[in-house]
Amino acid sequence: MSAYFIRRILWLFPVLFVVALITFSLMHAAPGGPWDRDLSSRQVDAGTQKVLNAYYGLDKPLWRQFTAYVFGDVSSTTDKFVCGLVCGNLGPSYRVRGSTVQDILFKPPKGKGFEYSRFGYSLRLGLISLVFAIVLGIPAGIFSALKQNSLVDYLSGFISSVGISIPSFVMAIFMIIIFATTLHWVSVVPKSWDEAKAWVLPAAVLGFGTLAFATRLTRASMLEVLRQDYIRTARAKGLHENIVVWRHMLRNALIPVVTILGPALAGLVTGSFIIETMFSFPGMGRAYVTAISQRDYSMILGTTLLYVLMVSLANLSVDFLYVIIDPRIRLEE
């Protein structure tokens, strides 16, 4: 058991390394350097480019740049060893002058707590939409299974097939047009993200796919549990219906639902950047999209690695949870 998890955690490092390698090589396959991308501002002349390249270590051979990025290297200007990715140093941003990538992502504005950093904003949005999906989705699934083929079942079945197939950013367009443009319940660009009202639409849109998936899965696994012998036994010995549902059915039916939480959380994290952009949400997803349009390579590279790390950790923790709640599961050693 523990050996399995230790191996899984150790396996994270080669995965991250390979992802870093792929991302790094793709970034460097792009023609041109970081200084001649930005067409909106004044162009950097050749001499300055040379100085900048030397300052950021971009004049060194590629393998050396990569090891410098991952492990660290001796800085050419100060002769001190600068630790790389392994110390959590994501390097300087090419576009936002004077800031490192980790500053942009994790540093909150002055006088505010960590939850006001870009990462904090995205984390809050992801968690809110996950809670929204679970709190609505699981009861809806349970109810549809218990009242199979009723009107409520058909309705929730229809809503969940729409939710699963329509991509979240198309849903966002519909929602914005209905609730912001036509009904004026919320404004498209809220004045402040401290108001709870502003969070409703982005969280609902982001969580809708997960909600639909959770509903479907809960319903399917409830229906399977319903037909089991031990449910009939429980009823036959005269247990109260509430106890049958809560203690015998739910405990078993929710096990497969837990397994989707990992991919769901991963989907919420990576799916968020398009939703964040549409709602002008101040999270790291929008920072990522901005970095894409500005071709801020170090920012793209750093954020991608952070996303991959989060997705892997989400999957790992769910596997862990799975073993804890279901003693029948034996993971391969």
Minimum distance between the CB of residue 198 and another protein, rounded to whole angstroms? 16
Q: What is the end-to-end Cα distance of the chain in Å, rounded? A: 7
Binding of another protein by 165 (CB under 8 A):
yes
Give the closest residue to 20 by CA, choosing from 57, 76, 65.
Answer: 65
Minimum distance between the CB of residue 265 and another protein, rounded to whole angstroms? 12
Binding of another protein by 166 (CB under 8 A):
yes
Binding of another protein by 317 (CB under 8 A):
no
The conformation of residue 300, written as its DSSP 8-state character, comes to: H
Distance, in Å, from the CA atom of 44 to the CA atom of 143, rounded to the nearest integer, reads 63
Exactly one of 95, 219, 248, 286 binds another protein (CB under 8 A); that residue is 219
Letters for 32-51 (x = contact with another protein by CB under 8 A, - = none) are x-------------------
Binding of another protein by 183 (CB under 8 A):
no
Binding of another protein by 127 (CB under 8 A):
no
Distance, in Å, from the CA atom of 109 to the CA atom of 25, rounded to the nearest integer, reads 33
Binding of another protein by 87 (CB under 8 A):
no
Q: How far is CA 105 from the centre of its chain?
A: 14
Cβ proximity to another protein, 203 vs 308, nearer residue: 308
Tell me the C-alpha to C-alpha distance, in Å, between residue 102 and each of 58, 87, 89, 131, 308.
Answer: 20, 11, 7, 27, 15
- The window from 65-73, 80-88, 219-227, 237-245 that contacts another protein (CB under 8 A) reads 219-227
Q: What is the DSSP string of 190-249?
A: -S-TTSHHHHHHHHHHHHHHHHHHHHHHHHHHHHHHHTSHHHHHHHHTT--HHHIIIIII
Interface residues with another protein (CB under 8 A)?
11-12, 14-16, 18-19, 22-23, 26-32, 161-162, 164-167, 169-170, 173-174, 176-177, 181-182, 188, 213, 216-217, 219-221, 223, 266, 270-271, 274, 278, 289, 292-293, 295, 300, 304, 307-308, 311-312, 315
